[in-house]
Amino acid sequence: MLISHKHKFIIINIPKTGSRSLRETLAPLNVIDLIGGSSQSSVEVKFSHHGYIKEAVSGFKEEGWDFNEYFKYSFVRNPWDRYFSFYTYYKDKLKFYQKTNIELNDNQQRQKINTFNLLRIRATKRFLKVLYWSSHHI
């Protein structure tokens, strides 16, 4: 989630839709006042990177900001490309977890288990292969 108090907008980031590129483009321009994340800052925790609009509403209320004054928007992506992007992202993560010898924190350990479980499902693999083929041959 990206928030600009000066320009009165909130960007709700949907996973795999280019939110990192947008963040990296806007951050150096000093347009963004708050970039949601998982850091220890109490304000940033209220507004997670891929947070829901409900989180923004409650976070704004807690901070005493007027949610209705802000323009809210998000970006979407072709669903076929987005799903394939998810697949390749998790496939790369799986390779990382299989090769790494570093000690993982609790969050990384959870991600590792979720990644293994997701990619272990044969139906998911077949579906994504068909999805990829279809999106590049239609």
pLDDT tens readout for residues 23-40: 889 888 888 888 776 544
Distance CA 106, CA 103 (A): 10
Distance, first Cα to last Cα, the chain? 34
Q: ∠56-81-94 over CA atoms, to 5°?
A: 85
In this predicted model, what pLDDT tens digit does every residue of 100-132 receive, in sequence order? 888 888 888 888 887 777 777 666 666 666 666
Domain boundaries, the chain: 2-74, 79-137
pLDDT at residue 65 in the model: 94
Nearest of 9, 26, 7, 6 to residue 18 by alpha carbon: 26
User: For residue 63, how many C-alpha atoms fall within 13 Å in the half-sphere facing its CB?
Assistant: 18
pLDDT at residue 115 in the model: 79
